Structure 1
């Protein structure tokens, strides 16, 4: 891990703004802590997955992990605000909705797991209440809140805080000098902390140092996850895999519009082919000029085989992009990711979640 403060050469000049922002966040949190602002509880398990920092810590892949864990036993719903969507208010995802209407990440989740409910609404309380008003056979038994750690109008029954191993919350500062949405003390509201984007072979000493530095309370459980990758898939058909084994004679244009593309690019470089990269902002909506730039860069590649490779999240926006022809889409592939834990940690994490749900349901019966 490295101290990222030095990368922001303007941090000193931003301190006055950080100070004012910190006062605002402190006052808001105190209003909730004192009960002046109300947090709402619900009669079903509500599991929140969020973080203290802006940017990508892997919230959507961790939500998908929980979906896979729970969907065979429970009716599961995912609630998201639907970042950058064009629609307003509450929307329950349906086959006719585009990613522009519900957001790229909710769209991805809904189409990967069509047997669950996916709802988007900036007002999570309203979203939960509408889901709980559904008929008995549709009403969710477990609700997963995506990126709602600071949405304190909902009192989750269980909170999972994610933090990127490469930029831990205790290494960071409040906005705008750093990337924290709230002070590191916000970790106290978490029931479990997952350190994301670690190396699979992280040494025991590094585990202990990280846990010590987080200064967690005794009841807070800590887990370490890492990113695993599934086989490369065609943009037009996820069942179609990469038709060749990459070698030094082949070339790839890596296109990404995510918060932190470095791990994705590093994974692609492991295959030893010629790699060129094009990076765009997170959740980028690819315009005609962007597509023209991508295709020009692709045409300039030299290789026996050549493709455009993108992330799973970006694939959603490229698949439905009106500026890309179907013939061009044949050249585009994406690399799916899946969150992994060590065997020991996976069992402990899964058991923690299942036990929470079972305990919640048992206590509800006793009310």
Structure 2
């Protein structure tokens, strides 16, 4: 059921009140204009949440990349959580994971033709992406995990809400997992309830829609995650190039994760694992694997009976690729589980058109912008294709 992964530490509620006071003051300073939000002359789409931990940001950003990459030059800008570098870094094909973080590394390797950059200061990052020689052809910027970064005013602000940790049931840090008060959702143009069970009933959709209590200008969507065939972590070393997910039922499985909610992955894999309960090695989110972790992985897998396999996430794959000390048998049998987003209630096309329409109206150089301008009347009153960023609320 929804909200089933929420745990509230009631003894910490007084500290949550103090935390909320500080966050509330900061948000009010932005509302009053004391702290300034910048708009940009390129379409900017922010994808984020108001909770700590995974809500499906990366697969939703990748959904947007797939939607836009064939008609625009896409750039993704992230903070680069837990990277070892500072300032602005533009990812190249050989940029090591430690310089940009696991999620940007994953996206650059899956989509080598897009620009991927990291910068804690998102305003400076957007300036660099749109002005530097190698990236000035950027048509649209996707901000990864920037809902709280209010110094940027995105054209579309997408808020993700985990079905299993609905914000309406949660509390502020440190008692709960909310980064800011529930009222923060009012800044979103689009709200997506993510990781929904595929068997949601019509009445459950209606209850969820009503409980989110959104404004009329806000659009609500529901998505679920679909798991794809397993791919080898180490190219050229795995015994099989790809493993069909349904074929893991007769193998002993070591589930290796360093994500926020490993329990959900275990539950989602249960239809494919059957009666076999996976052995689980769960590390903290964005965990940096050390020598003792490598030894634990090696020994745990060595003790398992054949046939056996290690399954990990795409995000963990980014941190495992450069890891030294893994046994040869581990390297040959460790596979990543790709995931993709699917919109429910047949609302995918509606979401796609909202994104494409916004980019079409505000882009400078993309195929979408060219198509728009080709259809404009060519007269003296035409103001041209001067770029502008407008709020989705006005579209």
Q: TM-score, normalised by structure 2?
A: 0.87
In the alignment, structure 1 residue 297 sits paired with structure 2 residue 294: no
- Alpha-carbon separation, structure 1, partners of 2:6 and 2:343: 31
- SS, match of residue 131 in structure 1: helix
Please show how residues 117-156 of structure 1 align to structure 2 within 5 Å: 117-135=115-133, 138-156=136-154
1:71-128 residue CA offsets vs partner (Å, 9 max, x unmatched): 0000110000000000000000012311111000000000000000000010000100
Partner in structure 1 of residue 375 of structure 2: none
- Alpha-carbon separation, structure 1, partners of 2:111 and 2:26: 36
1:19-38 residue CA offsets vs partner (Å, 9 max, x unmatched): 11011000000111101011
Alignment root-mean-square deviation, CA: 2.1
Partner in structure 1 of residue 185 of structure 2: 187
Partner in structure 1 of residue 259 of structure 2: 258
Contact 2:3 2:163 in 1 (8 A): no
Please show how residues 215-234 of structure 1 align to structure 2 within 5 Å: 215-234=213-232
Contact 1:319 1:329 in 2 (8 A): no
Partner in structure 1 of residue 317 of structure 2: 315
Contact 1:249 1:274 in 2 (8 A): no
- SS, match of residue 259 in structure 2: coil
- Alpha-carbon separation, structure 2, partners of 1:169 and 1:329: 39
- Alpha-carbon separation, structure 2, partners of 1:338 and 1:5: 22
- SS, match of residue 76 in structure 2: strand
- Alpha-carbon separation, structure 2, partners of 1:245 and 1:348: 32
Q: For structure 1, list consecutive stretches of 5 or more residues without a partner in the other structure.
A: none
Greater mean alpha carbon deviation, residues 81-90 or residues 12-21: 12-21
1:306 to 305, 308, 321: 308
1:292-337 residue CA offsets vs partner (Å, 9 max, x unmatched): 111211122123x101111111111111101224553112111111
Contact 1:63 1:144 in 2 (8 A): yes
- Alpha-carbon separation, structure 2, partners of 1:102 and 1:244: 30
Q: Using a 3 Å threshold, how does the CA distance of structure 1 residues 193 and 116 change in structure 2: closer, same or farther?
A: same
- SS, match of residue 362 in structure 2: helix
Q: Using a 3 Å threshold, how does the CA distance of structure 1 residues 61 and 6 change in structure 2: closer, same or farther?
A: closer
Partner in structure 2 of residue 345 of structure 1: 347
- Alpha-carbon separation, structure 1, partners of 2:156 and 2:253: 42
Partner in structure 1 of residue 233 of structure 2: 235
- Alpha-carbon separation, structure 2, partners of 1:227 and 1:204: 19
- SS, match of residue 150 in structure 1: coil
In the TM superposition, residue 237 of structure 1 has moved relative to its aligned partner by 2.5
In the TM superposition, residue 129 of structure 1 has moved relative to its aligned partner by 0.4
Contact 1:5 1:178 in 2 (8 A): no
Contact 1:248 1:274 in 2 (8 A): no
1:120-173 residue CA offsets vs partner (Å, 9 max, x unmatched): 010000100011113387421100000000000000011000000111111111
Contact 1:160 1:191 in 2 (8 A): yes
- SS, match of residue 124 in structure 2: helix
Partner in structure 2 of residue 172 of structure 1: 170
Contact 1:318 1:324 in 2 (8 A): no
- Alpha-carbon separation, structure 1, partners of 2:77 and 2:122: 7
- Say how many residue pairs are matched: 364
Q: TM-score, normalised by structure 1?
A: 0.94
1:36-94 residue CA offsets vs partner (Å, 9 max, x unmatched): 01111000110000001010000011000000000000011000000000000000001
